[in-house]
Amino acid sequence: MAYDAWMPRLGWSIDLRVPRVIGIVNCTPDSFSDGGELATVEAAVARAEEMIAAGAIGVDIGGESTRPGAQSVAEAEQIRRVVPVIAMLRAKRGALAGGGPLITVDTTRVAVAQAALEAGADGVNDVSGATDDAAMLDLCARAKCGIILMHRARPPAEDRYSTAYVGGAAGSAAAPAYGDVVHAVGHFLASRALAALQAGIALEAIMLDPGLGFGKSVADNLSLIARTGELTELGYPIMSGLSRKSFVGAHMNLPAGHQPSQRLAGTLDLSARHAAAGARLLRVHDVREHVEMISGLAGQSPV
């Protein structure tokens, strides 16, 4: 079925019958969990190689934080941050078709995506669902590359409520009310997938992401996880992007002021639920632990 495989490069399909793990490499000073940890190209490439050695099929490399309240980063600065990392990793590990790792670039800007693809990236992870830059879908169609389309309520700079959880719901009155959040998110993702198809992107190259933590309450996020099967009915693989997010800490009842790294147990629990419900690509900080978790779910050796 369509949601059990993804084609990030024309003619090269990733088998998703078993959930897979992709590591997060943030080349940013201000990401919520690991901002500033990877201050050099060499450090970022080393982190990527550690993740691949631990069982990740590849890495998602970004140069702009999408945490609530984060300001946008100029295209030139994003390119400066991510392109040398992609180029060095590709040079060291080889192309996807030759057994090298999957590399996606986490950006909403066409200029950054194009530079990343030219440097060796295989696909684009666009958290705006390709709405920030109208030319993104055309670029991916021309490049014949994969695209991940995510749902979010508002851009990060306008999101002041996603981390303000009170009693299991977003604490700000400005938080969106979805009604049935799964229907609302599914409708948006279906519309963006259709736009991608109309732009000439192959059905097999499209992946969808419900945008866990992006302007959703704890209850909203849990509903999206539990009802992932309804999203797979759209016919595309689903990515899980909940790693270390604040709603995980709220779900765990962790005290105020805790560190994102303390959310590992909750992340693994919810990632396992998401995988069991149908998510097929887990975007995570803690690769080894997730690979082991998937192995346990599948009853087989780590993928």
Whether 303 is covered by a domain: the verdict is no
Q: How far apart are CA 11 and CA 122, in angstroms?
A: 12
Kind plus residue range of the DSSP H or E element containing 5: strand 5-9
- Residue 261 inside a domain? The answer is yes
Angle at which helices 218-226 and 181-199 cross, to 10°: 60
| Domain count within the chain | 1
Q: What is the pLDDT of residue 69?
A: 53
- Quote helix, strand, coil % in the chain, to nearest 5: 45, 15, 40
**Residue 73 included in any domain:** yes
What's the confidence (pLDDT) of residue 32?
46
6 compared with 27, residue with greater pLDDT: 6
77 within some domain:
yes
**Is residue 118 in a domain?**
yes
Binning pLDDT at 50, 70 and 90, where does residue 173 land?
very low
Cα(270)–Cα(240) distance, rounded to whole angstroms?
Answer: 10
* Contacts for 226 with CB less than 8 Å, ≥ 6 apart: 273, 277
Q: Is residue 24 part of a domain?
A: yes
177 vs 170, which has greater pLDDT? Answer: 177
- Give the structural domain span for 218: 2-11+18-298
Which tokens belong to 34? 């690991």
Catalytic residue ranges:
245, 283
Whether residue 34 lies inside any domain: the answer is: yes
Write b or e for each residue in 165-184: b if 16 or more Cβ atoms lie within 10 A of its Cβ, otherwise e: beeebbeeeebeebeebbeb
Q: Which of 78, 107, 15, 89 is nearest to 52 (CA)?
A: 89
Q: Are 105 and 61 in contact (CB under 8 A)?
A: yes
- CATH label of the domain that carries residue 217: 3.20.20.20
Q: What is the pLDDT of residues 190-244, one digit of tens each?
A: 999 999 999 999 999 999 999 998 888 888 899 999 999 999 999 999 999 999 9
